[in-house]
Every structure is written in C-alpha cells, then in structure tokens.
C-alpha cells in the first residue's frame, strides 16, 4: 500500500505545533520530511507561507524561519502554516530545478502522487496544505543572476473579485513594487492551482545574487506588513527603506516587456532597477567578445518604462533575456 502525503500534527488543535509534511518515497528517492510549523489561534484568516520552491532562492526559506522565531508569540487570531523549505533537494544543491528529476517544482503543480519527486512534493503541498488555507504567500526570489526590485507579483486572473483581493494583499506588503505580470499560460504553476480554487496566492520576489542581512530585513518587513493587513498580528505597517527610498508603486509588465540580447556577447547593464527610462533610452550594451575594435551594441527601451529587473553583467547568448521593463498600471 502506498503511503499518503500527510502532516505529522493536527492543525485543528489550538496553539503551536511543529512537525513535518511527509512526502512519500517513490522510485527515485526516499520519503522527504519537510519541516512545518502550524500556529492555530482560533477564528480568522488561514494563511500558508511557503519558501524554497526554487532551490537557488534563499530569501524565502530564511524569512520564513525568521517568522517562526516571533510569529507564535505575536499572532492574535487565525491560522498560519509555515513551510520554509518545500524543496530541500534543490536548496542543498543551490539549483532552480530539483536535482533528482531535473524538474522545476513550480511547473508541475498540482503534482502526482505516483510521479517523480518534484511531482510528489507538489502533490503533497496541493493536497495536504493548500486545502487548509484561503491565502498563500509563496516566497520566491527573481534569480541569482538578476537585479530586481523587492516586489510582490501576481498573474492576472479572470475572477475580478479575486484579482482585486490579490492586489490589495500584494500592496499591503508595501514593498517598492507590486507587479501584475501578463500570463504566458505557463502550465503547472502553484499560483494557477490556488487561483482555480478561488484562493489568494501572491509571490514575493527579491532579486540580486547575494542574499544580505539588509535584503532579508526588507523582505521580512514586507511579510510582516501583509500579516498586519490580514489582521493576523497587531502593529503598524511601515514602508521598508530600499536604496534611500520609502515608496511603493503598482506596475504591470507584458510579455513584450522582456528585452532580449540581439547577439552573443558580454552584457553590460547601463541602468539600475527602478530607473525610469524614456523611449529609446539606454538599458545596456553588448560587447562582442574577442575584439576591441567593434562598437558595443546598444540595447534601448522600446517605450518609456520603469526598469523592474536587469540582468547581471555576464556572457549571454542571442535572444537571452537581459531586462524586464514595466509601467504604471492603468486603472
């Protein structure tokens, strides 16, 4: 008989429980025991916080663990479930995809009980944790080789009510950017599974290679702001200070807002995130390797835009993405 994915404690028991979400073993690896804390303070919102969906995004797992330090004391109502490391195999390997099966966990939701390990993790999260809550914060980071504004992103959903609720929750983080990201119909995302069940799921994103104490503090402050807005903890929300600014803006980015490299070469960023760049303004240049006589190729903004994310300097192939632009959301 196949073991079923399960939580090692009963979330309905009031108080604080720590234990594991058990992802059953399969043909490719042993059972995984994912650490989970459940904080049940009675009636109120029911929130799931997940980190470590991608193993090269460390902010989420650490911010989630920092919440574990103070939330059990501070939470005044409702239920919060925190699973800081839902993909420990990828975290240990510092890889986006799961090493054992090579799959991107956030492309195999809702998963399969008899699938490979990424699919079994997705199945356990979807079938055991997701039904317990009405809201999900999936703590991501943009990429280790990109600089990106601290932000909360979501894809548009058809249900206008749900969409409005998601934007409100996302804006409550008070991070520099709330971003509505045009959906390219990527299958298998955790977001879609939650949205299809009418649940709020927002992804916080933080970018930029190295994960510093300062970046973690900003990220944690954003999550705390959202917990206050949901009514789960008391306190006053505050804009975290980021690069000398304390502001938030709600932006949208379209599929056409991904700028690509026109040729192979070394990409050099010539602007910074949150810069406003006029139409035709310089985003970066591309240096042809092997020669110092060729002029660098200029990569310019096709429309007046705000730079949401920009690739770290480095060698890129043709058509590799080098910047993600955005603009104020028209309401």
Which is closer to its own copies, CB of 165 or CB of 324? 324
Q: Could you tell me which of 237, 233, 208, 277 has the C-alpha nearest to residue 59?
A: 208
At residue 147, φ and ψ (nearest 5 deg) are: -105, 135
207 forms part of the interface with its own copies (CB under 8 A): yes
Site string for its own copies, 166-205 (x = CB under 8 A): ----------------------------------------
274 forms part of the interface with its own copies (CB under 8 A): no
Per-residue burial over 256-287, b if 16 or more Cβ lie within 10 Å, else e, is ebebebeeebebebbbebbeebeeebebbbbb
Site string for its own copies, 61-80 (x = CB under 8 A): xx--x--x------------
User: Rounded CA gap, 31 and 124, in Å?
Assistant: 11
Q: Could you tell me which of 174, 9, 33, 167 has the C-alpha nearest to residue 81?
A: 9
CB of 307 to its own copies, least distance (A): 10
User: Rounded CA gap, 202 and 136, in Å?
Assistant: 6
User: 3-class SS at 92?
Assistant: helix
Question: Which listed range, 193-201, 206-214, 229-237, 254-262, lies at the site for its own copies (CB under 8 A)?
Answer: 206-214
Question: Which listed range, 83-91, 97-105, 153-161, 253-261, lies at the site for its own copies (CB under 8 A)?
Answer: 83-91
314 forms part of the interface with its own copies (CB under 8 A): yes
- Residue that has been written with the tokens 């505050």 in this structure: 238
147 forms part of the interface with its own copies (CB under 8 A): yes
Task: By CB under 8 A, name the binding residues for its own copies.
Answer: 18, 33, 35-37, 58-59, 61-62, 65, 68, 82, 84-85, 88, 91-92, 94, 144-147, 207-214, 216, 244, 266, 268-272, 287, 289-293, 296, 310, 312-315
């Amino acid at each position: 008989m196949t073991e079923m994915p399960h939580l090692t404690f009963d979330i309905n028991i009031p108080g604080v429980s720590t234990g594991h979400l058990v992802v059953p073993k399969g043909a490719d690896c042993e059972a995984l025991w994912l650490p989970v804390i459940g904080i049940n303070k009675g009636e109120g919102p029911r929130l799931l916080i997940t980190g470590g969906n991608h193993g090269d995004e460390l902010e989420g797992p650490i911010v989630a663990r920092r919440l574990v330090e103070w939330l059990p004391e501070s939470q005044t109502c409702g239920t919060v479930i925190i699973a800081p490391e839902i993909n420990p195999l990828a975290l240990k390997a510092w890889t986006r995809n799961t090493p054992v099966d090579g799959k991107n966990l956030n492309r195999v939701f809702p998963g399969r009980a008899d699938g490979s390990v990424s699919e079994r993790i997705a199945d356990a999260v979807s079938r055991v944790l997701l039904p317990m809550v009405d809201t999900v914060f999936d703590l991501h980071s943009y990429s280790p080789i990109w600089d990106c504004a601290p932000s909360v992103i979501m894809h548009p959903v058809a249900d206008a009510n749900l969409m409005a609720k998601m934007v409100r929750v996302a804006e409550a983080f008070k991070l520099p950017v709330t971003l509505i990201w045009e959906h390219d119909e990527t299958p298998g995302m955790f977001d879609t599974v939650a949205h299809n069940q009418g649940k709020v799921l927002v992804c916080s994103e933080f970018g930029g290679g190295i994960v510093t104490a300062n970046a973690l503090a900003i990220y944690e402050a954003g999550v705390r702001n959202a917990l206050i807005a949901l009514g789960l903890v008391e306190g006053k929300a505050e804009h975290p200070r980021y690069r000398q600014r304390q502001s938030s803006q709600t932006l949208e980015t379209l599929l056409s807002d991904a700028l690509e490299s026109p040729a192979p070469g070394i990409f050099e960023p010539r602007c910074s995130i949150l810069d406003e760049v006029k139409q035709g303004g310089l985003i970066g240049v591309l240096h042809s390797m092997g020669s110092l006589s060729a002029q660098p190729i200029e990569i310019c903004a096709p429309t007046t835009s705000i730079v949401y994310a920009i690739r770290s300097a480095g060698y890129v192939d043709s058509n590799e993405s080098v910047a993600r632009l955005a603009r104020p959301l028209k309401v």
